[in-house]
Structure 1
Amino acid sequence: MPEPRSGPRTAELSVPQKAMHKLGLIRDIDLALHLPHRYEDETRITPIRNARDGESVQIEGTVVASEIQMRPRRQLVVRLDDGTGECELRFFSFYPSHQKTLAVGQRIRARGDVKGGFWGRQMLHPVFRKAEGELPAALTPVYPTVAQLPQAYLRRAVASALRRVDLTETLGEALDRPPVALRGGKGFEPLWSLRDALFFLHHPTPDVALVTLEDHTHPAWQRLKAEELLAQQISQLEAKRERARLRSPELKPTPDSSALHEQLLAVLPFDLTAAQRRVCAEIFGDLARSIPMHRLLQGDVGSGKTVVAAMAAAVCMDAGWQCALMAPTEILAEQHFAKLIGWIEPLLASRGRRVAWLAGGQKKKERTQMLAMIESGEAALVVGTHAVIQEQVRFRNLALAVIDEQHRFGVAQRLALRQKLKDRGLEPHMLMMSATPIPRTLAMSYFADLDVSTIDELPPGRTPIVTKVISDSRKDQVIERIAAQVAEGRQVYWVCPLIEESEALDLSNATATHLDLSEALPGVTVGLLHSRMPSAEKKAVMQQFKEGSMGVLVSTTVIEVGVDVPNASLMVIEHAERFGLSQLHQLRGRVGRGAAASACVLLYSTGESGRLAETARERLKAMAETNDGFEIARRDLDIRGPGELLGARQSGDSLLRFADLALDSDLLDWARSVAPKMLDQYPMLAKQHVARWLGSKSDFLKA
């Protein structure tokens, strides 16, 4: 069986080989680690008379009748007799080759679900073959696959790869004290080797408890999960050590009152919270070192991360260097720009320096002016979207890069920022911010190479938000509530998940909702905001809402982050069942920013089924029960796993295929303790281990 290798060009590959490449099955080890998602038992034959109704069994017998019947539709009907009874095999889709194999007198094995009825036992569309050779000794694997990649081809490819693959043990002495789970749970049982674990999982013996294979608690599964977690931890520790060998500018805060960060503190219209001051001290400590800072600043919605970023930027600029602040959307970038200009630009102006703005929709003249300011160093602070990392943007001396909502940026984009100082042999310090708090196990696993600072305190004056989960059949009552809020001088957000009608998803769109609310609320200015509007139009709408001349803003999720209107006291999220938990929490955080009592209404629709999906129900329940972003993040991890909490960090690739962070914390603890020992005492084995498990994916962990 030829194995697809990285050598041949794609055009030279067969159709099944191209399909395997699509699945990422290129190396022998890729195929060896492509594990079955279920198994079929072909190891035993059940006498027909013992086959129970509803049971999935394999039978063997002689074809005693085989004919094509035309009523009620064309079908092939075959009778199989094994001496203990008869079973009818019925096929609505069949080929001449099937008829030949199932001809009268042939000895056949058939496997499927038995149905008992008035006319006796029956199987619909069973899997069948000629009864030749001995029965297999192991369960038959069924692999995850794609179109044009048959199970038979994949089984042969995996079996061939298992014969060739190098499964030399890489753990050696590092496994001197493995978790009990790796030893089968009985203390003195022998440890499963990687080879034994893989061969067993591809072809388990029929006496195994299938539930231990399905829930991945079998010792063979535990061995694989431990190895996978260890590869990830080694890779991250390696990245952290590599970063420690790089050099960054030393940005030491000046202690006197003339320092830019002290002047910034003096002009802020509020005092920093204790949590903000603590986090500032952590960041200042990093900036003062010559080792590049690689820190994640996390805090709940509205906890004041922007102010902390401004303080870090002030220290950087005071030392004569440039700072870049990058946000995922223009609205969020503009909000930072407006705040930072108000706070910092007057202070910078006295030093002959300025703040620059970069975004995709800028006019050429303005953009050229900004690029010149950045290259000359006149622009001490550069705020913008992805435009900040474009090739034509040349910094004079970038020393600090602040990335807001870091999970919305890909690996390549973060790496591009780091390249901006390469010609001087230096790395910029990196501060990444997230309003989606990272649960501890996730931080230990995927962010092991990051230092994490947490703002765990909200500024005074934030009011608690009451969250109500309401069926969209009561939408009229919600509109009455909106009218009452606007009459009291308050403002309201109404968020829709789509802009246009879609035949596939019967959802209200922002345009139709805007018209409906305008009619239902005469005398109230109802605005509309969505991502397809021209930039100038979006700015004008947001300005009206901020000034208070607009009572209701109908929007898509472009207002998810960064929008700050203290007078807004009600958030309505339509089709809330369609949103992710962290996104719902972000949207809810747009209200409760002033002194007025605030509420968030989650309008859900059950559709034609009349009931919510289990995960949607869990999300809405979590939102109603807690306002705590850390608890929300923990529940999000429980409901969906690490996927969206990590965002684009892995550039679309999941680095953990087998381990479950919610269930395998003991294996993660073990991997964290073993990783430094592997790197220090067995560097070649560590390198081999990471290459086996991660291949080129280990680069994703280094951004």
Structure 2
Amino acid sequence: MPDAKPKTELQKALEKLGLRRDIDLALHLPLRYEDETRIVKLIDVRDSTPVQIEATVTHQEVTYRPRRQLIVTVDDGTDTCTLRFFSFYGSQQKALAVGNKVRVRGEVKGGFLGRTMLHPTFKAAGGDLPTALTPVYPTVAGLPQAYLRKAVLSGLARADLSDTFAPGDLEWLQHRSPQKGQKPLWTLRDALQFLHHPTPDVSIDTLMDHSHPAWQRLKAEELLAQQISQLQSRRERASLKAPQLQAEEGGTLHARLLAALPFGLTNAQQRVGEEIARDMARRIPMHRLLQGDVGAGKTVVAALAAAICMDAGWQCALMAPTEILAEQHFRKLLGWLEPLGITTAWLTGTQKAKERRAMLALIESGEAQLVVGTHAIIQDKVKFKNLALAIIDEQHRFGVAQRLALRNKLHHEDMEPHLLMMTATPIPRTLAMSYYADLDVSTLDELPPGRTPIVTKVVNDARRDEVIERIRAQISQGRQVYWVCPLIEESEALDLTNATQTHADLAEALQGATRADGQPVLIGLLHSRMHVDDKKAVMGAFTAGLMSVLVSTTVIEVGVDVPNASLMVIEHAERFGLSQLHQLRGRVGRGAAASACVLLYSTGDAPRLGEAARERLKAMAETNDGFEIARRDLEIRGPGEFLGARQSGEAMLRFADLATDTELLDWAKVEAPMLLDTYPHLAAKHVARWLGGKAEFLKA
């Protein structure tokens, strides 16, 4: 850091960006670049191009219509341009006084009133021009670019950037087609120096799409660090012990559960069940991800795995991210397992002290063979007698530290429990291969029979009345409806209709409507600020069919199963992520009735939706396939956000792109074991440089 004094606000802001070490600063790369290396004449400027000009101020005024603004006219001898500022200070007015010569940078737009720059940057004219492009870094509030540039520069000068590749192993990178006129081999130091301050003759496109050789070097380094870390994790796991949970033949809990289920298993469920059983029969801890689309039947597979564990005399824990989802699992598992003599404990953060104490005693004594709950399961006070299988549902919703805590719950002869993680957000193959190199992945790729396809319609909010008529029609046929809102309360930043207001509006609009049995329509409201008992009461009434419409925030995103619900309306659908929209849509189409999902969108004051929002809604309308949705989501959002990597506070891959850098990934997979086995000191240095304390998180 620039100073070794007590931490300033600026240094705290650097830490907020994760910039603690010199190498962190060196690897904090620009978002984009500004070209301040040349002055352009106004007469030569193309419309909508960012440029730098030097000109004399010929006019200045403050106008108040249609709003307060500072308008400055400048002339560079070839043409004039208007500078427009909606927020400004006296010092800026002084710097832009008539007669002053200024150097101005911004995007020039043509128009009816001539050329204009909106909020350009400016300084007094004169002085040498820089010889490299000016970097613009990702930042946070209170951290100006000028300070960040100095900090990065000093970190870059001090960081140890010596080679950590095996001697001679840079040859492979050297043979990758270098671009014309550029040196074929970049050291890490060369690559970073160049990317922080590229020369003006570089193709900006190769910098922005990360195809430049300097970027190739960085991506190779990053992928190698990730592969070494995951290989270490896999090897460590192979040296760990776990209880051997053998599925016995006939008369067992597993066999009795199978016989008691009111439906047959799909081929996919049978195949995945066998994969899990084989893993649990080994002495090495299972580390398996079970992925399947919404409604593919993951809970049944988890229950059968739990049965094998309990058959062998050990405890099993199932952890879900929300109380509603945990309770959904609890009721389902209770219905299947209680008649078979299994004692199940229920554990959440909102339990009364007396009930909680009773549950903790059941768990510690081992009397409770199955424990279902939220993150309350991983608290220190929860002591298992002999936990052998931990099941985590919607694993990407948990922070990595929480997943690690659950794995540390077995204090028995240096063993750790088998781990089964479940997700209804399918993960594209390339992503699974890289991020989950330390995980075995099982896929439920078929839905149980009898599911009705869901029709998805994208509808402008201006047609809300038509949607309400559709709701009225569904209710009159005895069906139920979800209406999902994105926020709980009014937000100044996003002026969205809150759930309470929507509930009131719908109650008014559906006044006098009746159900198929002639009863008046009840409309429920569910949001995360409600007391847990109130939530349960509302959810219970909707599940029982007493309530026709449920207005809700996204607390119903996963796990809610009401077969009679046939219509899902998602308000402000443009605000939701793609996988979240797909999860919400999966709450309908669970019974025999024809089901629909309406994506209500609003452009607000904008003339049209943003590009990413348009792509999301288009993908939803075009496919119901969770794997296709996942592939498109990855394209739109990128891997770090897709996997919930933010839960650990860090994006896992910052530079490499798994969709396009497959060649580099293949190289890193071959290189990692060689480096780890032959040059362990280089491998350790490489991982420390790139991952710091994050290596532990990649193991969860």
The answer to whether the Cα contact below 8 Å between 1:328 and 1:408 also exists between their aligned partners in 2 is yes
Aligned pair in 2 of structure 1 residues 291, 118: CA closer, same or farther (>3 Å)? closer
2:562 pairs with 1:573: no
Tell me which amino acid in the other structure corresponds to 1:496: C
Say which of 441, 462, 466 aligns to 1:473: 462
Gaps of 5+ in 1: none
| Greater displacement, 95-104 / 215-224 | 95-104
> How many residue pairs align between the two structures?
685
The answer to whether the Cα contact below 8 Å between 1:55 and 1:114 also exists between their aligned partners in 2 is yes
Shift of 1:582: 0.9
Shift of 1:177: 5.9
The answer to whether the Cα contact below 8 Å between 2:640 and 2:653 also exists between their aligned partners in 1 is no
Q: Which residue pairs with 2:244 in the alignment?
A: 250
- State the structure with more CA Rg: 1
Q: Which residue pairs with 1:676 in the alignment?
A: 673
Give distance in 2, aligned partners of 1:75 and 1:439.
51
The answer to whether the Cα contact below 8 Å between 2:57 and 2:75 also exists between their aligned partners in 1 is no
Say which of 10, 13, 32 aligns to 2:7: 13
Aligned pair in 2 of structure 1 residues 181, 138: CA closer, same or farther (>3 Å)? farther
2:210 pairs with 1:216: yes
The answer to whether the Cα contact below 8 Å between 1:570 and 1:591 also exists between their aligned partners in 2 is yes
Aligned pair in 2 of structure 1 residues 487, 636: CA closer, same or farther (>3 Å)? same
Question: What whole-Å deviation, never above 9, does each CA across 1:159-179 have from its counterpart, x for those lacking one?
Answer: 333332221111134735636
TM-score w.r.t. the length of structure 2 is 0.89
Aligned pair in 2 of structure 1 residues 470, 379: CA closer, same or farther (>3 Å)? same
Question: What whole-Å deviation, never above 9, does each CA across 1:199-237 have from its counterpart, x for those lacking one?
Answer: 111222221112211222111112111211221121111
| Aligned counterparts, 1:20-169, within 5 A | 20-44=14-38, 127-128=122-123, 131-132=126-127, 135-169=129-163
Q: Which residue pairs with 1:200 in the alignment?
A: 194
The answer to whether the Cα contact below 8 Å between 1:492 and 1:551 also exists between their aligned partners in 2 is yes
Give distance in 2, aligned partners of 1:580 and 1:511.
22
Aligned pair in 2 of structure 1 residues 174, 291: CA closer, same or farther (>3 Å)? farther
Gaps of 5+ in 2: 515-519
Question: What whole-Å deviation, never above 9, does each CA across 1:422-455 have from its counterpart, x for those lacking one?
Answer: 3541101110000000111221222111110001
Give distance in 2, aligned partners of 1:419 and 1:457.
34
Shift of 1:504: 3.7
The answer to whether the Cα contact below 8 Å between 1:174 and 1:674 also exists between their aligned partners in 2 is no
Q: Which residue pairs with 1:319 in the alignment?
A: 312
Shift of 1:527: 2.5
Shift of 1:400: 0.5
Aligned pair in 2 of structure 1 residues 102, 39: CA closer, same or farther (>3 Å)? farther
Across the aligned residues of Structure 1 and Structure 2, the Cα RMSD in angstroms comes to: 3.5
Say which of 336, 345, 356 aligns to 1:343: 336
Give distance in 2, aligned partners of 1:633 and 1:120.
46
Say which of 554, 558, 580 aligns to 1:557: 554
The answer to whether the Cα contact below 8 Å between 1:182 and 1:191 also exists between their aligned partners in 2 is no
Shift of 1:687: 1.1
Give distance in 2, aligned partners of 1:526 and 1:97.
56
Give distance in 1, aligned partners of 2:498 and 2:636.
27
The answer to whether the Cα contact below 8 Å between 1:411 and 1:649 also exists between their aligned partners in 2 is no
Give distance in 1, aligned partners of 2:112 and 2:558.
64
2:310 pairs with 1:310: no
The answer to whether the Cα contact below 8 Å between 2:57 and 2:96 also exists between their aligned partners in 1 is no
2:589 pairs with 1:592: yes
Question: What whole-Å deviation, never above 9, does each CA across 1:596-623 have from its counterpart, x for those lacking one?
Answer: 2222222222223242222222111111
Shift of 1:345: 1.8
Tell me which amino acid in the other structure corresponds to 1:17: Q
Say which of 268, 272, 293 aligns to 2:261: 268
2:360 pairs with 1:363: no
Aligned pair in 2 of structure 1 residues 223, 549: CA closer, same or farther (>3 Å)? same
Shift of 1:645: 2.8
2:406 partner SS: helix
Shift of 1:126: 5.4
Q: Which residue pairs with 1:290 in the alignment?
A: 283
Aligned pair in 2 of structure 1 residues 367, 473: CA closer, same or farther (>3 Å)? same
Tell me which amino acid in the other structure corresponds to 1:413: Q
Shift of 1:90: 7.7
| Greater displacement, 364-373 / 52-61 | 52-61
Tell me which amino acid in the other structure corresponds to 2:557: E
Question: What whole-Å deviation, never above 9, does each CA across 1:63-85 have from its counterpart, x for those lacking one?
Answer: xx88996776998989999xx87
Say which of 491, 501, 516 aligns to 1:512: 501
The answer to whether the Cα contact below 8 Å between 1:409 and 1:649 also exists between their aligned partners in 2 is no
Q: Which residue pairs with 1:234 in the alignment?
A: 228
1:296 partner SS: strand
Shift of 1:270: 0.9
Give distance in 2, aligned partners of 1:508 and 1:431.
39
The answer to whether the Cα contact below 8 Å between 1:469 and 1:603 also exists between their aligned partners in 2 is yes
Give distance in 1, aligned partners of 2:540 and 2:113.
76
Aligned pair in 2 of structure 1 residues 393, 71: CA closer, same or farther (>3 Å)? closer
TM-score w.r.t. the length of structure 1 is 0.88
2:626 pairs with 1:629: yes
